[in-house]
Amino acid sequence: MTRALALATLMMAAQIMGTHAAWSADAAKSEAPKAEADKAAPVKAEAAKADTAKADTAKGQAIVSKVCVACHAADGNSPAPANPKLAGQIPEYIQKQLTNFKPGANGKAERANPVMAGFAATLSTDDMRNVAAYFAAQKPSTGAAKNKDTVVIGQRLYRGGDVAKGIAACASCHGATGAGVPSQYPRLAGQHAEYTEAQLKAFRAKERNNDSAGMMRSIAAKMTDAEIRAVSDYIAGLR
Ligand code: HEC
Ligand code: HEC
């Protein structure tokens, strides 16, 4: 999606939430200069496009079948609830996460995770692009909501947020069906509820803080455990 569209999405979310929310102002601020920069540097934008086109899914598959298969499965539909499904995920999002997991020169990673740090550290930028393209091209398996009692609460939060509490609708950034919106907003549909719940709690505790402009931290901060569980269960059944 273009930056302009990303900005429009944010504006839409901002409208749903009311204009006083701190995150929307921050997010809009962080998007605007980038949009300007893109206009000013068409050559750079072209180079980035060519880069994506060069992704080699066969090379990606070779890495996946040797290393990642143990936890994420050969087609990215991991059976274990602690390991996220990667099939059908937005490739730029996968690439960003792998970059964020890889510890920098100071030994710190933007997304701290002891398991993924080691695997990301072995990957070059090309490797990351190739595995991302491979996983993105796989067909995501569907899941199901397990708790009938909370599905209505989960659906309401997902589609409309909670205006009174200032929670933006998840759909405004992640798409009506949870398929994600390229390139910034990840796919959520069909994800293991346990993984989604753990991420929302990590954002809330600010243990995961690699979301640009704090978009997810500010939303999760307003959610109760029950709301997090309800929306996570609902998302598992989205398709
Ligand atoms: C030993 C198990 C294990 C292996 C092997 C493994 N992963 Fe992971 N991966 C995980 C776990 C667990 C998480 C969730 C981390 C968290 O809770 O934040 C994860 C998260 C990820 C994410 C973030 C997904 C998201 O939705 O944000 C990506 C991308 C990823 N792994 C890619 C890979 C790739 C590529 C490989 C192979 C080079 C790989 N993983 C190998 C266990 C593993
Ligand atoms: C303003 C836009 C926006 C809204 C609204 C939003 N999100 Fe997000 N969300 C993001 C962005 C951007 C990321 C990716 C962060 C990163 O780069 O690591 C994300 C990431 C996530 C992740 C991590 C996915 C993964 O695979 O690890 C989950 C889970 C999530 N969002 C759930 C939700 C839920 C549930 C709601 C509604 C209550 C919601 N989001 C509302 C922008 C948004």
- Residues 64, 127 within the same domain: yes
Strand partners, 185: 181
For residues 19 and 31, give the distance between their C-alpha atoms in angstroms, rounded to a whole number: 16
Buried b (16+ CB within 10 A) or exposed e, 167-191: bbbbbbbbbeebbbbbbbbbbbbbb
Question: Is residue 143 in a domain?
Answer: no
pLDDT in tens, 22-31: 333 333 334 3
Confidence of residue 53 (pLDDT cuts 50, 70, 90): low
Question: Is residue 142 in a domain?
Answer: no
- Would you state the structure tokens that stand for residue 85, as one six-digit string? 């499904």
Higher pLDDT, 148 or 24: 148
- Would you state the structure tokens that stand for residue 229, as one six-digit string? 């569980």
Residue 177 belongs to domain spanning: 151-236
**Interval 55-71 mean pLDDT:** 98
- Would you state the structure tokens that stand for residue 70, as one six-digit string? 């143990």
For residues 211 and 169, give the distance between their C-alpha atoms in angstroms, rounded to a whole number: 17
| Cβ-Cβ contacts under 8 Å for 53 (sequence gap 6 or more) | none
| Cβ-Cβ contacts under 8 Å for 86 (sequence gap 6 or more) | 72, 76, 78, 94, 135, 138
Instruction: Tell me, using a 6 A CB cutoff, whether residue 163 lines ligand 1.
Output: no
Ligand 2 centroid–CA 63 distance in Å is 27
Instruction: Tell me, using a 6 A CB cutoff, whether residue 232 lines ligand 2.
Output: no
Which ligand neighbours the alpha carbon of 199 most closely? 2
- Residues 101, 174 within the same domain: no
What global pTM score does this model have?
0.85
**Interval 138-158 mean pLDDT:** 97
- Atom 34 in ligand 1: residue holding the nearest Cα: 68
Strand partners, 181: 185
- Atom 36 in ligand 1: residue holding the nearest Cα: 68
Which ligand neighbours the alpha carbon of 174 most closely? 2
Q: How much is the pLDDT for 54?
A: 85
| Cβ-Cβ contacts under 8 Å for 19 (sequence gap 6 or more) | 25
Q: Among 59, 68, 184, which residue has the most ligand 1 atoms within 8 Å of its CB, making it the best to mutate?
A: 68
pLDDT in tens, 149-185: 999 999 999 999 999 999 999 999 999 999 999 999 9
pLDDT in tens, 198-229: 999 999 999 999 999 999 999 999 999 999 99
- Residues 66, 107 within the same domain: yes
Percentage of the chain lying above the pLDDT 90 cut: 77
Instruction: Tell me, using a 6 A CB cutoff, whether residue 78 lines ligand 2.
Output: no
| Cβ-Cβ contacts under 8 Å for 95 (sequence gap 6 or more) | 128, 129, 132
- Residues 110, 132 within the same domain: yes
Strand partners, 167: 162
Instruction: Say yes or no to pLDDT of 90 above 90.
Output: yes
Q: How much is the pLDDT for 234?
A: 98
- Would you state the structure tokens that stand for residue 171, as one six-digit string? 């759909």
**Interval 44-54 mean pLDDT:** 52
User: Which CATH number does the domain housing residue 198 bear?
Assistant: 1.10.760.10
